């Protein structure tokens, strides 16, 4: 069981030698998810040593090019490498037309199915769930409709204490009850308490992704208490006017959101190409929210 984030691109609209446009890969208990897919993401995936064909869910926050221009190339490469497993893409409505049009003019018939789920950037919505995780979207506030995403583990089962079980002689039929934290009553009417036979489950973790957004406290309720928050910080306070005009955030604003939402850790990214280092960002974010880092391409973060 693992919940791991790999930063594939930590830059903004203008790619630099060291910061490619936005893309993140998540392995949540062997569910493989890609969030955003800027130009060159397929190369970043290869460099990071990630298995491209394992990805089954692709979430696209919005239709600014630095968040999706690498998508159709990625899908083409999946096809050329012989993929047959379907891919589900969650993103703005026009995305399906853009992708299918480009495949069509190239006479490319993919060997796998593409399912598109249309997002409108306006609502909190459960996009996907299985026994171990849930993916939600929520609205951000940017120049065009933009979706944030939350990936969270479902409550985990308790672990059985094998020794206790063997010594007590309780029926193995009790195991599923105990795992769920329920007590078990035997046929003889004897009660066995889950607490005696199990350890508490590992805590369920959650990750929130805020790609491009102006400072808005409207997102706080959606991301309340997540373990890790990624929030864009295209600018610093020195460019606060520019941040507002372009509907982006400063490092201080991102930290304020993290503080108000009471998250565990804050990751800053989407740095404008004008920044060589990360010190200016950290300097203004830390006093507001201490547990903060600026991510770089190929950083791996345990959620």
Q: Residues with catalytic annotation?
A: 66
Q: Is residue 73 part of the contact set for a copy of itself (CB under 8 A)? A: yes
For residue 221, the SS3 value is helix
Q: What are the C-alpha distances in Å from 48 to residues 16, 41, 208?
A: 18, 10, 22
Among 19, 31, 57, 64, binds a copy of itself (CB under 8 A): 64
Is residue 214 within a helix (H) or strand (E), and if so which, with residue range? none
Q: How far apart are CA 26 and CA 288, in angstroms?
A: 27
**Radius of gyration of the chain from its Cα atoms, rounded to whole angstroms:** 22
Q: Is residue 101 part of the contact set for a copy of itself (CB under 8 A)? A: yes
Q: Which stretch binds a copy of itself (CB under 8 A): 95-103, 162-170, 173-181, 182-190?
A: 95-103
Q: Is residue 107 part of the contact set for a copy of itself (CB under 8 A)? A: yes
Size of the site for a copy of itself (CB under 8 A): 34
Among 45, 59, 63, 258, binds a copy of itself (CB under 8 A): 63
Among 46, 54, 202, 283, binds a copy of itself (CB under 8 A): 46
Q: Is residue 69 part of the contact set for a copy of itself (CB under 8 A)? A: yes
Contact of 285 with 28, CB cutoff 8 Å? no
Q: Is residue 80 part of the contact set for a copy of itself (CB under 8 A)? A: yes
| Cβ proximity to a copy of itself, 18 vs 199, nearer residue | 18
DSSP line for 136-168: EEEE--SSS--EEEEEEEPPPPPEE-HHHHHHH
Q: Which stretch binds a copy of itself (CB under 8 A): 35-43, 168-176, 217-225, 282-290?
A: 35-43
Among 34, 61, 87, 92, binds a copy of itself (CB under 8 A): 92
Q: Is residue 52 part of the contact set for a copy of itself (CB under 8 A)? A: no
Among 18, 30, 47, 196, binds a copy of itself (CB under 8 A): 47
* The pair of three-digit structure tokens given for residue 10, joined into one six-digit string: 């930590």
Q: How many residues does the chain have?
A: 303
Q: How far apart are CA 10 and CA 26, in angstroms?
A: 15
31: nearest Cα among 97, 129, 173 = 129
Contact of 110 with 103, CB cutoff 8 Å? yes
In the block, residue with structure tokens 């928050």: 229
Among 4, 29, 88, 102, binds a copy of itself (CB under 8 A): 102
Q: How far apart are CA 163 and CA 288, in angstroms?
A: 48
Binding mask 118-157 for a copy of itself (x = CB under 8 A): -------------------------xx-------------
Q: How far apart are CA 24 and CA 158, in angstroms?
A: 30
Minimum CB separation from a copy of itself for residue 233, in Å? 18
Q: Is residue 98 part of the contact set for a copy of itself (CB under 8 A)? A: yes
Q: Is residue 40 part of the contact set for a copy of itself (CB under 8 A)? A: yes
Q: Is residue 35 part of the contact set for a copy of itself (CB under 8 A)? A: no
Q: Is residue 255 part of the contact set for a copy of itself (CB under 8 A)? A: no
Q: How far apart are CA 95 and CA 131, in angstroms?
A: 29
In this structure, the number of other CB atoms found within 10 A of the CB of residue 293 comes to 16
Q: Which residues bind a copy of itself (CB under 8 A)?
A: 13-15, 17, 39-40, 42-43, 46-47, 63-66, 69-70, 72-73, 76-77, 80-81, 92, 94, 97-98, 101-102, 105-108, 143-144
């Amino acid at each position: 069981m693992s919940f791991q984030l790999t930063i594939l691109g930590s830059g903004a609209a203008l790619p630099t030698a060291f910061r490619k446009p936005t893309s993140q890969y998540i392995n949540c208990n062997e569910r493989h998810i890609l969030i955003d897919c800027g130009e060159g993401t397929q190369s970043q995936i290869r460099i990071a040593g990630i298995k491209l064909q394992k990805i089954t869910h692709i979430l696209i926050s919005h239709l600014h090019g630095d968040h999706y221009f690498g998508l159709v190339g990625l899908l083409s490469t999946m096809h050329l490498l012989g993929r047959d497993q379907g891919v589900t893409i969650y993103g703005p409505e026009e995305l399906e037309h853009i992708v299918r049009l480009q495949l069509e003019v190239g006479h490319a018939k993919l060997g796998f199915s593409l399912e598109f789920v249309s997002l409108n950037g306006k609502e909190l919505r459960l996009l996907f769930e299985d026994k171990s995780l849930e993916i939600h979207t929520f609205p951000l506030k940017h120049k065009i409709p933009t979706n944030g995403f939350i990936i969270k583990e479902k409550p985990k089962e308790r672990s059985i204490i094998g020794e206790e079980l063997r010594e007590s002689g309780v029926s193995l039929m009790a195991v599923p009850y105990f795992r769920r934290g329920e007590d078990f009553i035997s046929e003889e009417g004897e009660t066995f308490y889950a607490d005696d036979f199990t350890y508490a489950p590992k805590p369920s973790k959650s990750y929130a992704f805020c790609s491009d957004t102006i400072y808005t406290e409207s997102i706080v309720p959606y991301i309340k208490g997540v373990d890790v928050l990624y929030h864009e910080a295209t600018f610093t306070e020195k460019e606060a006017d520019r941040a507002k005009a372009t509907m982006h955030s400063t490092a201080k604003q991102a930290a304020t959101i993290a503080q108000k939402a009471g998250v565990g850790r804050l990751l800053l990214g989407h740095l404008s190409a004008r920044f060589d280092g990360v010190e200016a960002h950290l300097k203004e974010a830390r006093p507001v929210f201490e547990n903060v880092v600026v991510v770089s391409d190929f950083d791996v973060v345990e959620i």
